[in-house]
């Protein structure tokens, strides 16, 4: 995906600009990722012809300042893929309720924004709208690869809640079986702050090249049990730190929320 311009926005996902993700090229102001994406698309030079454009924006920022930008993209026949990160809260300022949550500031149930219908109303074709579980990385990566190949505006909506809000019911934390860890360090690519390097070791491979191994552990007090690191671990050294519990999301009473369960394998 690095043959790609990624326009970022203001929110907790702005942390994606740092190591190990290095996944944002711009970050200006709330809602700016949409307009920047349009500018990157329309301002292409010949050498940028094969570059993809991806814009990242959160649900509350999209509702605050991003809708006009998406309308500009569709109206001006832009070519960009939008990652709309719906965590059903204003994550960067304390997890306050937003129109995406279905609960108002008084804690009362209220109208809940339907993002697929909203972005379709703003001009995105129905076949270019996808709602995905971001914890299912292969599915998410495939959607990104497929949609960035399409000469049109696409919107990929991710639907997991912020783990710091009361709507999130923590799942069983994970731990590392020390005897099974091979030091491959693949889990570090997830960028999870709960994954810690306990020791490093340099080995010489049969071809004579040196390789640095990073043996890891997980701080179970910080782990939410999202399961992302499990899928990176070939020797299956990452296991539940006890009985498997929870599904990661507790919907407000009376609201139907589907396909948000994450099973710890």
pLDDT in tens, 80-117: 999 999 988 887 777 788 888 888 888 899 999 999 99
Distance (Å, whole) CA 71 – CA 121: 9
- Binning pLDDT at 50, 70 and 90, where does residue 243 land? low
For residue 162, give Cα distances in angstroms to 6, 64, 86, 168, 223: 22, 18, 9, 7, 13
Instruction: Return the C-alpha torsion angle 9, 14, 18, 23, nearest 10.
Output: -50
- Binning pLDDT at 50, 70 and 90, where does residue 263 land? very low
Answer whether residue 256 shows pLDDT above 80.
Answer: no
**Cis before residue 121, ω within 30 degrees of 0?**
no
Query: Who wins on pLDDT, 205 or 79?
Result: 79
> Using one digit for the tens of pLDDT, what is the confidence trace for 135-146?
888 899 999 999
What's the confidence (pLDDT) of residue 212? 94
Distance (Å, whole) CA 7 – CA 34: 8
Name residues whose C-beta falls within 8 Å of residue 199's C-beta, 6 or more positions apart in sequence. 215
- Residues facing 4 on adjacent strands: 52
Query: Who wins on pLDDT, 111 or 129?
Result: 129
């Amino acid at each position: 995906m690095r043959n790609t311009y990624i326009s970022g926005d203001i929110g907790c996902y702005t942390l994606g600009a740092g190591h190990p993700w290095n996944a944002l090229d711009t970050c200006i102001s709330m809602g700016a990722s949409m307009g920047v994406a349009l500018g990157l698309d329309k301002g292409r030079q010949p050498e940028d012809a094969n570059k993809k454009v991806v814009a990242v924006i959160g649900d509350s920022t999209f509702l605050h300042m991003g809708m006009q930008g998406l309308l500009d993209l569709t109206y001006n026949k832009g070519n960009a893929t939008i990652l709309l990160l719906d965590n059903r809260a204003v994550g960067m300022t304390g997890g306050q309720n937003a129109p995406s949550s279905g609960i108002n500031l008084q804690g009362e149930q209220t109208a809940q924004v339907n993002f697929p219908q909203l972005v379709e109303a703003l001009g995105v074709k129905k076949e270019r709208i996808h709602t995905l579980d971001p914890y299912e990385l292969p599915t998410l990566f495939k959607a990104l690869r497929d949609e960035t190949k399409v000469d049109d505006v696409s919107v990929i909506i991710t639907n997991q809640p912020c783990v710091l809000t009361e709507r999130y019911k923590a799942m069983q934390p994970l731990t590392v079986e020390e005897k099974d860890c091979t030091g491959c360090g693949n889990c570090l690519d997830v960028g999870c702050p709960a994954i810690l390097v306990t020791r490093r070791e340099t080995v010489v491979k049969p071809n004579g090249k040196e390789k640095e191994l990073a043996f890891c552990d997980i701080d179970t007090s910080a782990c939410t049990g999202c399961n992302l690191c499990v899928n990176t671990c070939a020797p299956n050294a990452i296991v539940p730190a006890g009985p498997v519990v929870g599904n990661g999301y507790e919907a407000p009473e009376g609201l139907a929320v589907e396909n948000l369960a994450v099973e710890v394998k």
